[in-house]
Amino acid sequence: MLHILWLILKFILIILGILLGLLLLAVLLVLFCPVRYKASAVKTEGAWNQIEGEGVVSWLFHGVSLKAEWKDRQMEMSFHLFGIPVDKLLKKRQKKKSDSENTKNTKNTSKKSKSGTKNSRSQAVNSKNEEHESEVKLLNDSADQGVNSTENHTKINENEESIRQDQHKPDNESENTETVTNENKIQPEDTASEEVSEQKTFFIKRIYDRIRNIFKGIRTKLQNIRRTLKKVKNNLSWWKSFLEHPRVKAARTLVWKHAKFLLKHIFPTKIEGQVAFSFEDPALTGTALAVLGMTIPFHKNCVQINPRFDGENYLQGNIRAKGRIYGFVFLRAALIIYFDKNIKYVIKRWKTRRA
């Protein structure tokens, strides 16, 4: 029994060791196997839009690669995994699915057409039955109309008698209403003058309340502006003291140093090519040449620039660049920045400010 348990434990430990080894291998590949990139652009004679370009990003010794190509004003992309075109396989799979769905739809339409013919026959039979039932209903309705006509005649006679009785009633109610209206019209002059005075006082009070509310609103707005200005002043003083602190300055210089190093690491290691250009205005050609001269520290004068002062729009040339990016460079910079005491001080002070 113990021998069997030892074998099971040994088997589990072997599997865990293999998984840990694979995980360690993956981490080492991410850190020390570089991501390589390559880009090229070509412009021949023709319009300004007729530019052809190509870019390739690969990893794991070209085992994983992504290629993008710009040609005839169209972008084409392809993804390869150890030489297998994954995007083409996915497209073929989608086509197969669409074809299978189309065949299913055609079969469903044929079934629906067959069921439609059957339904049309049943509808014809039902329409005949409905016509027969409608004829029977018409006969029954005609018999009922005769009975209803006699009932309506008796109701009309009763209504005429009630109208005659109403006409002979006395007009006492109308007289009472006239007397009430006459009494309401007679009002004393004192009540009218009191109402006018009350309306004036109400109107004056309303105007006074409006003016008072306007002044109150202006006062509150001025108080709010004063508070906001005070807050802005306090924020500016805090930012000034925060940025001028020596530990903050040290943290800022450290971040800028590593950022420059990372940018230098990302930039292409090799650039070559030649470009010939010109504009209709020679002054524009001169300014473009001055701007391109500022890029010499990046490509180290490996791109030959040939300006032409012919007085026409012209562009022709080719450029090729390639480089590599290592993962451990980013990891090293992140660890140095994270464990720096000045960076921790900045983070702590920022948290206390937000709290």
pLDDT tens for residues 152-202? 445 545 555 555 554 444 444 444 444 444 444 444 555 767 777 777 787
Mean pLDDT value across the chain: 80
How do residues 272-323 score in pLDDT, each as one tens digit?
A: 999 888 888 888 888 888 888 888 877 777 888 888 888 788 888 999 999 9
Ordered DSSP codes for 83-133 = TEEHHHHHHHHHHHHHHHHHHHHHHHHHHHHHHHHHHHHHHHHHHHHHHHH
Q: What is the pLDDT of residue 169?
A: 43
Which pLDDT belongs to residue 302? 84
Q: Quote the DSSP letter at residue 60.
A: T
Please state, as a whole number, how many other Cβ atoms lie within 10 Å of the Cβ of residue 88. 12
Question: What per-residue confidence (pLDDT) applies to 172?
Answer: 43
pLDDT of residue 137: 61
Q: Which tokens in the block code for residue 346?
A: 């900045």
Query: Strand, helix or coil at 54?
Result: strand
pLDDT confidence band for 257 (50 / 70 / 90): very high
pLDDT of residue 147: 43
pTM for this one? 0.62
Per-residue pLDDT, 344: 92
Phi, psi of 6 (to 5 degrees): -65, -40
Ranges of each domain in the chain: 97-148, 191-244
Distance CA 135, CA 140 (A): 9
**Contacts of 15 by beta carbon, 8 Å cutoff, 6+ apart:** none
Asked if the model's pLDDT at residue 151 lies above 50, the reply is yes
pLDDT 10s digits, 74-95: 888 999 998 888 888 888 888 8
DSSP state of 63: T
Query: What are 33's two structure tokens?
Result: 């196997």
Share of the chain above pLDDT 70, in %: 75
Give the mean pLDDT of 124-148: 56
DSSP E strands: which ranges in 233-325? 270-278, 303-307, 314-325
pLDDT recorded at residue 176 = 45
How much is the pLDDT for 293? 83
The residue with greater pLDDT, 261 or 132, is: 261
Question: What HEC string does 15-45 produce?
Answer: HHHHHHHHHHHHHHHHHHCCEEEEEEEEECC
| C-alpha span between 150 and 147 (Å, rounded) | 6
Q: What pLDDT score does 299 carry?
A: 73
Lowest-confidence segment of 97-101, 181-185, 325-329 by average pLDDT: 181-185
**Region 55-83 average pLDDT:** 90
Pairing of strands 303-307, 270-278: parallel
